[in-house]
Amino acid sequence: MSNRYFYHSFPRQSSRRPPVDGLKVLKSFCDLGFLLTPESMPFDIGRDEPLRTLQRRMCLTELDQSELQAHAKDFGEFALEFTIDSVRALGAIPAFYLPSKSKTNSDLGLAGSKLALYLAQTHEFLSRIHELRISGKDDHFAAVVEWLRLKHPDGSIAEISQFAFALEALMNLAIPTENLTYVGELGYYRQREWRIIYAFLENEVCPAQFLSEEGKTALVEINGWFNEVPSGGNKPRVDMCLHIPKLGGKPALEHVRRILVPDDLVDDADAIVRSAGFSVDVEGSSQAVQSE
């Protein structure tokens, strides 16, 4: 039997901020479902300023259970554990990694950075075409756009907005192989990360929703980081957060195999989960790894 699963670990602590209470974060999962948090991802494109893309995603890491303790030191002592099949069913997609700039002055050493730039520019180009088409300001150009429209395999028309959305989805999955401020060389690449993003519909409905004012207040009380404006952004993270309360006809948290918490907090965590009406198993991290 395989001991490999996907994990979403929390809360990630920072020396620059007050400690975050993992039990309160767990309660937010019970109340809100999965949270797609916005973060500014920098790509070194060989200029004075990096290219920054705003990504909204929930990150999952594929690990053997023996690797979880080491992972927890960086990402948090609590974890939601998922089977491989449940991660697929949730629509998670592996991140793809773009190599950072070469230490030499080789032009080819910027290949990954250039691809990130071209993806961002293509998304912007398609978005502008879509806006022009729906504005009706240029009938001649609108006719050209109509002529360029493609069809899906089922015969339905592929809208330009869908292509723009596909590029945005790709940008939500792109990660540099490392950021030496935080990790060693190829540090991100070695994390085997998958992501849940908001790019896809379930039964023609987007499962991701913006937070209510009550939900925003609760998040900021748990972690003031949500009230910060990310680099290159124009409003606090909490205003850009999305949450997924349900997927596949059931609450998002019901897709979790089990919840792992510090051994001394099992009873408190179990009480939070049960009071919210969930039946997911809650286990101590050390015993859970040994019992498999």
| pLDDT, average across residues 17-27 | 93
pLDDT at 272: 98
The answer on pLDDT for 187 being more than 70 is yes
| pLDDT, average across residues 71-75 | 92
The answer on pLDDT for 11 being more than 90 is yes
**Which of 114-123, 125-134, 166-175 bottoms out in mean pLDDT, i.e. has the lowest?**
125-134
pLDDT at 167: 86
Amino acid code (one letter) for 2 = S
pLDDT at 100: 79
Q: Give the span between the Cα atoms of 57 and 167, in whole angstroms.
A: 15
The answer on pLDDT for 292 being more than 60 is no
Q: Report the SS3 class of residue 51.
A: strand
pLDDT at 140: 61
The answer on pLDDT for 243 being more than 60 is yes
pTM of the complete model: 0.87
| pLDDT, average across residues 15-29 | 91
The answer on pLDDT for 42 being more than 60 is yes
**Which of 98-102, 116-120, 139-143, 185-189 bottoms out in mean pLDDT, i.e. has the lowest?**
139-143
Q: Cα 93 vs. chain centroid, distance in angstroms? A: 10
Higher pLDDT, 105 or 226: 226
The answer on pLDDT for 124 being more than 70 is yes
Residue 271 exposure: Cα atoms within 13 Å on the Cβ side: 6
Rounded percentage of the chain residues whose pLDDT exceeds 70: 90
Q: Which pairing describes strands 96-98 and 174-176: parallel, antiparallel, or unpaired?
A: parallel
pLDDT at 225: 93
| pLDDT, average across residues 235-244 | 95
The answer on pLDDT for 2 being more than 90 is no
| pLDDT, average across residues 206-232 | 93
How high is the mean pLDDT of the chain? 87
**Two tokens, residue 192:** 């085997």
Can you say whether the dihedral through the CA atoms of 250, 275, 285, 67 is positive or negative? positive
Cα distance between the two ends of the chain: 9
pLDDT at 165: 82
Q: What is the DSSP letter of 118?
A: H
pLDDT at 155: 74
pLDDT at 156: 76
pLDDT band at 109 (very low <50, low <70, confident <90, very high): confident
| pLDDT, average across residues 226-236 | 89
pLDDT at 197: 92
